[in-house]
Amino acid sequence: MLKKLKITGWKRIVLIGAFGMFVLMLIAATVLYFKISPELPSVESLKDVRFQVPLRVYASDGKLVAEFGEKKRIPVKIDGVPPLMVKAVLAAEDDRFYEHPGVDYQGLLRAVAVFVRTGEKAQGGSTITMQVARNFFLSSERTFTRKLSEILLSLRIEHELTKNEILELYLNKIYLGNRAYGVASAAKVYYGVEVNDLTLDQMAMIAGLPKAPSTFNPIVNPERALQRRNYVLRRLHELGAIDTATFDTAVKRPDTARLHTVTEEVDAPYAAEMARAVAVEMFGNEAYTDGYKVYTTIDSRLQPVASAVLRQAVIEYDERHGYRGAESRVTLARDSTMDDWEEALRDTSSAGALIPALVLSVGEQNATVYLGENRKITLDWAALSWARRYVSENALGVAPKSASEVLHVGDIVRVRQTAPNKWRLSQLPAIEGALVSISPADGAVKSIVGGFDFYRSKFNRVVQAQRQPGSSFKPFIYSAALDNGFTTATLVNDAPVVFDDPGLESTWRPENYTGKFYGPTRLREGLVNSRNLISIRVLQAIGIDTALRHVSKFGINAERLPRNLSLALGSGTVTPMDMVSGYAVFANGGYRVTPYIVQRIVGPDDKVVFVTTPTTVCSACEEPAVTDDSVAGRTAAAVREASKPEKIAPRVVSAQNIYLTVSMMKDVVKRGTGKQAMQPWCGWGLTTPNPWAMVSPERVQRCRCG
């Protein structure tokens, strides 16, 4: 028979007090619930969440050109994450995730116990579901109201979503340091691999980051990070996810984390900037966060060649005008160390293929320079002897006879690699250049280089710089002449002439480049040898207005061109893009196409949201209709009809005119002022680690270079 439990004295008082405290807390919680609950956001949005994914720009073949956006994130499905990675995250953050209803009372009781014992609101008690609620909907402030909101939201989330859906949100949303959000992005940032290629110790390192991404960051604090990684490995072992042998092996492995930037597979920064501007114009600032993918028309094979060609041409032109001396100079002590050398180069970055170098010693006809990262090279006399002192644009100093006339110890200079194990003194060019190539069939931009180095100058000279085209403008004038009674054999007098043109400031006495006059000359020879006086007389004969109307057919804005005879010598201002689109008419047989660089844009749901429909050359579309009504005839007609482009490029110049003009232009290269274009060029590979990786053995043999 049970005896009645008698509670008397102080025990009764304690029990009544505890019960009263419980009732008060229950009442407070109820009041807070009814106050907070209506203000809580709906968790429905989590079912269609869009992560902040950066804007990515690609070449036409899908190779990465650039990435824009503050947050690095690569969304991944839960079944795309290695099971051991999932277990590592659960071991570090919430090992009872699949057991609790979103709130782990054990963890909360531990947090309450800490508060009662210390009087401080300790971090703790948060499940993965609660972290999802906080990261998506709440702030990080540590208050009881926010904690209660977090608990209520967590219960709602667990009711609306499955455990795997919640975990997928967490694995993609969680911040892991160095602008990396989500485990897939962290794998790229810290180890440069896909999440499926992580080793166990690397998974543990990433899994340990959510608790404190700054404190346990393997880049900033490798010792604390290693301790945290080993803790995660130990938890995996305790939970039976890995055996003892696997644990022992993993815990002994050194950490290999380092900062990996986005690997750009194609060096086309000017193209990337043009594509970025298009995306932002269409989608606003959401372009940087909604995961848009812009596919450009850039050819990943041609782009590096274009960059190398442009840089080599600019460098060679600049060097022909002399050496302007060191960029700066530092004082080096005799006992200076590699740390001192690194410090001297710290604020000087590479530009294009030009690498900064510190002069360590100067010999009679050689010099030793330091390139950074424990690299020293010797510049021989062949690398230095070109450096005659720059005096003016048209004057050079005497040729140097010793290295000391060119370099001094402590100079910070530039060097470039010209062949395997061969280097040459160089300098930052004082001039700039631009290059663009397009497909004459539809105007697709295949390569574009807007300047020597995008990071020195973001001004895109292909589309922004208006310059005088000079003699390259003459084919348009000759084409206009052919449309107005001239033939390639028409004689034009190459003789002195004086013009008192009201459109010019003073009397004009033009001359040929050679300073000579050649008398009656056929039109073809006038273009082949770029005779200025013939071009002027041709323009005078057909009339300026007639010439401007013809030039506008090539897509060149006639309003920006002068209305005087200097037009024949290319004194107007055009952009390189104007010129390439004009020359495309010569290349495609007389059709005008519009240059474009964005091929298509793919939205965050991997659906195409924009496609460029280019004007495309279709010479077959001009053919007369076939009257053959046979089966074969009808089939051929159907094929031609199906192959017609959506937008047909208009014919602007006759086929006969184009044929004759191009014929004359070919002679310019074969035997005229453009003969140098027939020479093989040997400057490949300036933008690649191995300068000769892009050159076939046959090309090297033919060039006889280096």
How far, CA to CA in Å, does 324 sit from each of 370, 391, 396, 414? 20, 8, 10, 11
Least confident of 177-181, 194-198, 199-203, 424-428: 177-181
Task: Give, rounded to a whole angstrom, the gap between the first and last alpha carbons of the chain.
Answer: 108
pLDDT over threshold 70, residue 228: yes
Task: Check 93, 150, 158, 525 and give the catalytic one.
Answer: 93
93 is catalytic: yes
- pLDDT value of residue 632: 65
- pLDDT value of residue 103: 81
Could you give the CA distance from residue 481 to residue 49 in angstroms, rounded to a whole number?
64
What distance lies between CA 52 and its chain's CA centroid?
19
Could you give the CA distance from residue 415 to residue 392 in angstroms, rounded to a whole number?
23
Task: Check 307, 437, 447, 471 and give the catalytic one.
Answer: 471
How far, CA to CA in Å, does 495 sit from each of 183, 278, 498, 534? 76, 51, 10, 8
- pLDDT value of residue 11: 58
The token pair at 372 is: 């950074």
- pLDDT value of residue 352: 84
pLDDT over threshold 90, residue 507: no
Could you give the CA distance from residue 568 to residue 471 in angstroms, rounded to a whole number?
8
Strand 390-392, strand 375-379: pairing: unpaired
Task: Provide the mean pLDDT of the chain.
Answer: 85
| Residues of the chain above pLDDT 90, percent | 60
- pLDDT value of residue 129: 84
- pLDDT value of residue 136: 73
pLDDT 10s digits, 256-309: 898 887 778 999 999 999 999 999 999 998 998 888 999 999 999 999 999 999
Least confident of 220-234, 671-685, 690-704: 690-704
Structure confidence at residue 29 as a pLDDT band (50, 70, 90): low
Structure confidence at residue 101 as a pLDDT band (50, 70, 90): confident
pLDDT over threshold 50, residue 693: no
Record the pTM.
0.77
pLDDT 10s digits, 517-547: 999 999 999 999 999 999 999 999 999 999 9
Nearest CA-CA partner of 471 in 420, 512, 411 = 512
Structure confidence at residue 21 as a pLDDT band (50, 70, 90): low
- pLDDT value of residue 75: 82
As a whole number, mean pLDDT of residues 603-625 equals: 87
- pLDDT value of residue 122: 47
How far, CA to CA in Å, does 391 sit from each of 323, 397, 407? 9, 6, 17
Could you give the CA distance from residue 180 to residue 278 in angstroms, rounded to a whole number?
26
Q: DSSP string covering 183-236, please?
A: HHHHIIIIISS-GGG--HHHHHHHHTSTT-TTTT-TTT-HHHHHHHHHHHHHHH
Which of 44-58, 207-221, 567-581 holds the top average pLDDT?
Answer: 567-581
What distance lies between CA 489 and its chain's CA centroid?
50
Strand order in the sheet with 64-68: 64-68, 55-58, 293-296, 598-602, 608-611
- pLDDT value of residue 687: 38
Least confident of 73-87, 171-185, 661-675, 688-702: 688-702
Q: Which are the contacts of 346, defined by CB distance < 8 A and separation ≥ 6?
A: none
